[in-house]
């Protein structure tokens, strides 16, 4: 099979950018990625952009056209990809497949979300568009609420304590401190998490990812182009799977089957297993999600995910550092998150990360849409096989 590599990366600072619009953010990230690759706009064959809900966040639809127009890249084809919080990874996968198909050689893939133009209750309602509008949103459920239902069921089933759950944000805040792009740059303790306001019991404020404006972009290229790039990081595996839209449709709410399936696909294509992964970026939209991710990805046995935290195996210096950039404590501009994860893995494999893991050669990204209705996993390698 044809090989595809990431040859350029760029992202904006994550945070509340009251001075910047969706178009400013996406253009900034795209320009940074082109600069990083040493390419110009004329080299780009197509653009893909992940965006969850510009229509509800800002009123703007037709986001592919907006991005390509603002970047001065017309008339190349521009496609918006949407799978809620997994929109960024979906755009990445579609761009990858478009190169594999032979249609394109060099593709710009971005992800962007402008979330702070709405007041927070509006953002909460908009994010819930990722759930089931007729049966979940309509009763006043929120995304924190859905993950809270998963968290309480998990705690009951596997005996996870509230203090153990707090180890996720404590670790990710610690990792985010050195990240210049992160929305949060402060360390927290288990006690801080336990004292933070309840949002949806048992989840508290510090269990949650923030509402963020931001954009991220990467350049993908086919093997004949990418082989000349010293920094190229290769896509070794790509998996995508689906599950029921609503949480109530799932047999077991303590696991995300779409993530298990997507991981299996990616591992199989890459010819590696969980033990081969040096670093991973997982979708920690709420603290419980990271523990479930460890298990869905095969890093831990079912119910034992917390052991990795307690033993600091997923902290930098541990056996398998997870969310070395701070995870979604960097910010969670939903459509950009999947690309932000890819960028951190690329930096680690290039040896340029703020929390560099020594000799990282294989990295994984795990991006979840909604409460688990879409999951996308990618495996990247430093060396071309």
Partner 1 sequence: MSHRSSIPLYWRLQKSKYRIVGSKCLTCGTIYYPPKTLCPKCRSKGELENIQLSGKGKIISYTVIRTPPEGFEKYSPYVVALIQLDEGPKITGQIVDNPEKVEIGKKVTPVFRKIYEDGEDGIIHYGVKWKIDEQI
Residues taking part in catalysis:
85, 332
Structure tokens, 254: 């303590």
**Comparison of 120 and 189: residue with beta carbon closer to partner 1:** 120
Is 162 an interacting residue with respect to partner 1 (CB under 8 A)?
no
Q: How many residues bind partner 1 (CB under 8 A)?
A: 37
Is 121 an interacting residue with respect to partner 1 (CB under 8 A)?
yes
**Comparison of 245 and 379: residue with beta carbon closer to partner 1:** 245
Number of Cβ within a 10 Å radius of residue 163: 12
3-state secondary structure of 305: helix
CB 241 to partner 1: min, Å: 15
3-state percent breakdown (helix, strand, coil) of the chain, nearest 5:
40, 20, 40
**Comparison of 152 and 361: residue with beta carbon closer to partner 1:** 152
C-alpha distances (whole Å) from 356 to each of 174, 283, 325, 347 are 14, 20, 9, 8
User: Is residue 170 within a helix (H) or strand (E), and if so which, with residue range?
Assistant: helix 162-176
CB 238 to partner 1: min, Å: 26
**Comparison of 117 and 313: residue with beta carbon closer to partner 1:** 117
CB 193 to partner 1: min, Å: 16
Is 211 an interacting residue with respect to partner 1 (CB under 8 A)?
no
CA 209: distance to chain centroid?
12
Mask for 131-150, x = binds partner 1 (CB under 8 A): --xxxxxxxxxx-xx--xxx
Footprint of partner 1 on 69-108 (CB under 8 A): none
Footprint of partner 1 on 234-293 (CB under 8 A): 246-250, 253
Choose which of 4, 90, 200, 343 interacts with partner 1 (CB under 8 A).
200
Name 373's Cβ contacts closer than 8 Å, sequence gap at least 6.
84, 130, 242, 243, 244, 245, 258
C-alpha distances (whole Å) from 10 to each of 30, 95, 119, 170 are 7, 16, 28, 27
Rounded Cα distance between 198 and 206, Å, is: 9
3-state secondary structure of 136: coil
Is 194 an interacting residue with respect to partner 1 (CB under 8 A)?
no
CB 115 to partner 1: min, Å: 14
Tell me which residues touch partner 1 (CB under 8 A).
Answer: 120-122, 124-125, 128, 133-142, 144-145, 148-150, 152-153, 156, 197-203, 246-250, 253
């Amino acid at each position: 099979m044809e090989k595809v590599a990431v040859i350029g990366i760029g992202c904006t600072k994550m945070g509340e950018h009251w001075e910047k619009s969706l178009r400013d953010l996406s253009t900034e990230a795209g320009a940074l990625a082109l600069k990083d690759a040493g390419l110009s706009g004329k080299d780009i064959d197509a653009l893909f952009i992940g965006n969850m809900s510009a229509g509800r966040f800002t009123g703007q639809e037709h986001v592919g056209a907006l991005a390509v127009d603002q970047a001065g890249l017309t008339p190349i084809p521009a496609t918006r990809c949407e799978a809620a919080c997994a929109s960024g990874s979906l755009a990445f996968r579609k761009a990858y497949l478009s190169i594999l198909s032979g249609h394109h050689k060099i593709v710009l893939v971005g992800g962007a979300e402008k979330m702070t133009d709405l007041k927070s209750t509006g953002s909460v309602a908009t994010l819930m568009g990722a759930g089931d509008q007729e049966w979940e949103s309509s009763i006043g459920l929120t995304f924190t609420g859905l993950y809270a239902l998963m968290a309480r069921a998990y705690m009951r089933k596997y005996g996870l304590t509230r203090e153990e759950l707090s180890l996720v944000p404590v670790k990710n805040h610690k990792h985010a401190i050195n990240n210049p792009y992160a929305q949060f740059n402060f360390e927290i303790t288990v006690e801080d998490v336990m004292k933070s306001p309840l949002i949806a019991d048992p989840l508290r404020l510090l269990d949650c990812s923030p509402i963020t404006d931001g954009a991220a972009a990467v350049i993908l290229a086919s093997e004949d182009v990418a082989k000349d790039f010293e920094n190229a990081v290769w896509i070794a595996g790509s998996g995508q799977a689906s599950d029921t839209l609503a949480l109530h449709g799932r047999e077991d709410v303590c696991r995300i089957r779409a993530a298990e399936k997507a991981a299996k696909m990616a591992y199989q294509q890459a010819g590696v297993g969980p033990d081969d992964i040096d670093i991973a970026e997982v979708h920690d939209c709420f603290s419980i999600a990271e523990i479930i991710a460890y298990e869905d990805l095969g890093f831990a046995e079912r119910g034992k995910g917390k052991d990795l935290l307690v033993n600091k195996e997923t902290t930098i210096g541990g056996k398998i550092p997870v969310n070395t950039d701070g995870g979604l404590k960097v910010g969670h501009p939903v459509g950009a998150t999947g690309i932000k994860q890819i960028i951190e893995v690329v930096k680690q494999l290039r040896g340029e990360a703020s929390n560099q893991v020594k000799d990282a050669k294989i990295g994984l990204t795990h991006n979840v849409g909604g409460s688990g209705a879409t999951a996308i996993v990618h495996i990247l390698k430093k060396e071309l096989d």
